[in-house]
């Protein structure tokens, strides 16, 4: 058996970041930037009003109030051809360009219209309620550098520069293959001894939920050739491949053999000191160094191995610098039983904010690695190391799978 940290280091050290390419902005959310982006356009592009109101000259209001002649109106999208003189005001809407001659805006709520003039009740300072050209972004300003992750607001900033593509590390395309003679997909009737394929929908959804592009490679029977053919297809068409089943010590556990063949010196079969998820095969294959992850077949093991090995590795492949999920120390609300077996236990649990402002593990009952139903209700995985106390009130590290489910403290 090898330590979790060693297994993980082996995987991560083998991963190379995917080569950058131009990607349409609409597809680039969550991707990692691979170029410097300097602003070519100022934002805002022109001085404009931040309020519906009246554009005027500040100097007309120095005595505290003023009655000004209304000489026109300008809406967002229009440009006034009138130059504002002293003693004049112009109706202006939010986002409309400030007319020439004006240097401030009085909001409509403060102004009182009397016939074709307007009474401004107080002194308005130069620049009041004016959004200056370049306030947000100045021409030449560095907007993004390599390594930054594009969030929705980043995409809006880039769109604000008139860009429609950007050089980023592409979203990894990840093939998912289930292996096992016993597997049946979809609603097909089950013959004796058959089971439905749970891991493929599980992994396809986990991948999509983490921002990767899942590719369904279907199922393969427990045979060397069938598995080799499916994996070859995956390596050709994908940036990474995840398989389940066939990596343990059973008679027909061929996946680990095929991964070893494909990976040569870069392949490794491991017995990791974790529960669940002990058997694990990994290799990088071919000139593109496509990572192959051979996960165990138990669905809960699949889930755990995905979180521990696959997700961080794919994050690295996609160019991310932060590759781990959000994790936090949580207080145990009950005793967590763990046999002294020299393994790190990964326990699906539920966490919630406590009245003390800390995160608590609210359920501490253990579950077997074939019990997926309980996993479906968990929002975190507790990482329970060997040799520490896990009694009620003790603290345990939890990987939070669904931070949104905690809401506000
Ligand atoms: P294996 O790792 O191939 O020895 O499989 C371990 C256990 O997981 C066995 O009980 C398999 O039937 C089960 N299993 C393997 N693949 C899947 C799958 N795709 N969906 C549900 N259970 C599976
Ligand atoms: Mg099997």
Average pLDDT on 60-78 reads: 97
pLDDT of the residue at 204: 98
What is the Cα–Cα distance from 28 to 190, expressed in whole angstroms?
Answer: 41
Who contacts 387 (Cβ-Cβ below 8 Å, separation ≥6)?
A: 340
Quick check: 370 pLDDT over 80? no
Q: What residues does the ion ligand 2 have nearby, CB within 5 Å?
A: 180, 245, 297
Residue of 203, 226, 244 best suited for mutating to test ligand 1, as the one with most atoms within 8 Å of CB: 244
Ligand nearest to the CA of 280: 1
Residue of 245, 247, 251, 281 best suited for mutating to test ligand 1, as the one with most atoms within 8 Å of CB: 245
What average pLDDT is seen over the chain? 96
Work out whether strand 279-285 and strand 351-353 pair parallel, antiparallel, or are unpaired.
unpaired
Residues with CB under 6 A from ligand 1: 178, 180, 182-183, 195, 197-199, 244-246, 248, 250, 296-299
Atom of ligand 1 nearest to the CA of 253: 3
345, 274 contact by CB (below 8 A): yes
Ligand nearest to the CA of 250: 1
Helix or strand (DSSP H, E) at 109: none
CA dihedral 127→133→135→141, nearest 10 degrees, is: -150
CB atoms within 10 A of CB 139: 13
Q: In the structure, what pLDDT confidence band is assigned to residue 369 with cuts at 50, 70 and 90?
A: low
pLDDT tens digits for range 104-160: 999 999 999 999 999 999 999 999 999 999 999 999 999 999 999 999 999 999 999
- Residue labelled with tokens 């190391």: 385
What is the Cα–Cα distance from 132 to 156, expressed in whole angstroms?
Answer: 19
What is the Cα–Cα distance from 152 to 165, expressed in whole angstroms?
Answer: 15
HSE-CB of 386 using CA atoms within 13 angstroms: 11
pLDDT tens digits for range 191-242: 999 999 999 999 999 999 999 999 999 999 999 999 999 999 999 999 999 9
pLDDT of the residue at 373: 86
What is the Cα–Cα distance from 350 to 316, expressed in whole angstroms?
Answer: 28
pLDDT of the residue at 367: 65
Find the 184 Cα to ligand 2 centroid distance in Å.
Answer: 13
Please state, for a pLDDT cut of 90, what percent of the chain lies above it: 94
Average pLDDT on 274-295 reads: 97
What is the Cα–Cα distance from 278 to 272, expressed in whole angstroms?
Answer: 5
136, 43 contact by CB (below 8 A): yes
Quick check: 63 pLDDT over 60? yes
């Amino acid at each position: 058996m090898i330590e979790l940290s060693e297994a993980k280091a082996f995987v991560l050290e083998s991963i190379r970041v995917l080569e950058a390419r131009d990607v349409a902005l609409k597809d680039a959310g969550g991707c990692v930037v691979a170029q410097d982006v300097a602003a070519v356009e100022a934002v805002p592009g022109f001085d404009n009003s931040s309020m519906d109101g009246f554009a005027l000259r500040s100097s007309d209001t120095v005595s505290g109030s003023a009655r000004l002649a209304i000489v026109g109106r300008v809406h967002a999208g229009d440009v006034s051809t009138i130059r504002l003189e002293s003693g004049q005001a112009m109706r202006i809407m939010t986002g409309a360009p400030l007319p020439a001659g004006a240097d401030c805006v009085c909001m409509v709520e403060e102004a009182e219209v009397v016939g074709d003039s307007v009474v401004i009740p107080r002194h308005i300072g130069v620049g009041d309620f004016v959004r200056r050209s370049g306030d947000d972004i100045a021409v030449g300003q560095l907007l993004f550098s390599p390594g930054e992750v594009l969030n929705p607001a980043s995409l809006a900033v880039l769109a604000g520069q008139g860009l429609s593509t950007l050089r980023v590390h592409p979203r990894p395309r990840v093939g998912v293959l289930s292996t096992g003679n016993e597997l049946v997909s979809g609603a097909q009737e089950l013959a004796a001894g058959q089971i439905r394929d749970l891991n493929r929908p599980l992994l396809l959804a986990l991948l999509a939920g983490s921002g990767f592009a899942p590719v369904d490679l279907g199922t393969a029977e427990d045979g060397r050739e069938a598995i080799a053919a499916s994996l070859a297809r995956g390596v050709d068409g994908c940036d990474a491949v995840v398989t389940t089943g066939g990596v343990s010590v059973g008679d027909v556990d061929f996946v680990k053999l095929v991964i070893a063949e494909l990976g040569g010196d870069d392949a490794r079969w491991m017995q990791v000191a974790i529960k669940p998820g002990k058997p694990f095969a990994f290799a990088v294959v071919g000139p593109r160094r496509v990572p192959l992850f051979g996960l165990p077949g138990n669905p809960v093991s699949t889930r755990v191995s995905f979180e521990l090995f696959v997700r961080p590795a794919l994050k690295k492949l996609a160019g991310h610098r932060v590759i781990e999920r959000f994790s936090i120390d949580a207080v145990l609300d009950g005793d967590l039983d763990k046999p002294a077996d020299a393994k790190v236990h990964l326990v699906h649990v539920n966490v919630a904010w406590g009245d003390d402002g800390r995160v608590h593990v609210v359920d501490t009952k253990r579950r077997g690695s074939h019990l997926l139903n309980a996993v479906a209700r968990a929002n975190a995985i507790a990482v329970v190391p060997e040799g520490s106390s896990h009694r009620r009130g003790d603290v345990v590290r939890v990987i939070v799978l669904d931070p949104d489910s905690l809401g506000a403290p």
